[in-house]
Structure formats: structure tokens, C-alpha cells
Amino acid sequence: MTRRRSLIFWLASVCGGKIVASHALLGLGHIVRIWEHRFETLTDGKEPTGDGPAYPVPPQPFVSTAVVPITNSPRFATAPLEGDGTFAHQVLLELKNNEWVCVGSYVDDTIYLEPEVRGRGLAEELLLRSAEHRTLPLTTNFTHSGYSLLRRTHRLAVARAVKVGLHVPQEVLADYADPHN
């Protein structure tokens, strides 16, 4: 099952999500397509509660046989958290000296990236790869930065879905006057 999931993630990253329907056919469970939901559904209508301190998260163990490079940043990849048994909790990896090293993670309600990899769009990719395996709402415990990240990621998912011709409900499109910007 791990190889099959790894293949699906790789195909999804290469094909821009066109094979999403294949997930269910392969018995990988329900897939949350965040571009089919309004932002308020993803957040359960909750607003951010403030920003807490950003404590460093220790490197998380990951399934080394399920590493999937990020297509537009191949020096980076994601992999499921070891022992979790799902793709809902993932780690962000960077290739250093021919070895994948954990530089971030999305576990439970916390997304953390090491300072040196922030600002490159990697948090959005990590969130997208994890979100499709979570239940809605994705979380209701938001910091301002987490809320902003989810908003950017939702906009990105909608724009990508429109670009590749996936169905995006009108009420979702209405939230973004122009999903390409």
C-alpha cells in the first residue's frame, strides 16, 4: 500500500491533481478536495485567535520509502509521518548531502518550518499534500499566520483546479474574483 500511495502522490504532483479520482478507486480513502469547499467550511467559520510563540519542533521521523519530491522545488519533498499510518500528518524534507532531512512538519494542528526554508511556498505545498487526507474543518485553532497560510493555500488550490479544468463550484469561485491572481 505504501508504494501505491507514493506513486499516487508522485502522479498528483506531476499531473497537477488530474488523477484525484484514482485515489478512491485504489482504496486510499476519502479525499478532501479543498478547491471544492468554501474557505469558511475549511475553518468552520472560525477566526484566528492570536499568535502564540513559534517554538521549534524537533525533526519528525518519516517513512523513507514514501518520499515524494515537490515538482517545482525538487530539492524538497514530503513524506508521511512514521507510525501514523495516514497521509494526514506529513513532514517537509530537504535534500542535503544526498540525504533527506526533516525541515518542517504538519502534525495535528501545527505546521512548522525551519526559518531557513520559509517564504518559498513550501508550507502551502505541505498543507495541500496533507489536507486532502484530513476531515473538515481542517482545524479550528488558528493563529494569524496559520489562518493566512490556509487562505493562501486555498486560493492556490482553487487557481490550480481552474487551470487544469477541474470542477470548482460557483460559490467557491465567487470568493475569489480572479483565482489566477
**How high is the pLDDT of residue 62?**
95
**How high is the pLDDT of residue 161?**
94
pTM: 0.77
Per-10-residue mean pLDDT of the chain, 181 residues long, equals: 42 41 42 90 86 74 95 94 90 96 91 92 94 84 87 94 94 78 49
**How high is the pLDDT of residue 61?**
93
Q: Supply 166's cell numbers.
A: 477541474
Q: Count Cβ neighbours within 10 Å for each residue of 46-79 and write b for 16 or more, e otherwise.
A: eeeeeeeeeeebeebebbeebbbbbeeeeebbbb
Residue that the C-alpha cell 491572481 belongs to: 181
Q: Which residues contact 34 (CB under 8 A, 6 or more apart)?
A: 42, 128, 131, 132, 138, 153, 154, 157
**How high is the pLDDT of residue 22?**
35
Other CB atoms within 10 A of residue 145 CB: 14
**How high is the pLDDT of residue 10?**
40
Distances (CA, A) of 89 to 73, 79, 81, 104, 133: 20, 9, 6, 11, 9
Q: Supply 86's cell numbers.
A: 495516514
**How high is the pLDDT of residue 138?**
81
**How high is the pLDDT of residue 29?**
55
**How high is the pLDDT of residue 21?**
33
- Give me the residues paired with residue 159 across strands: none
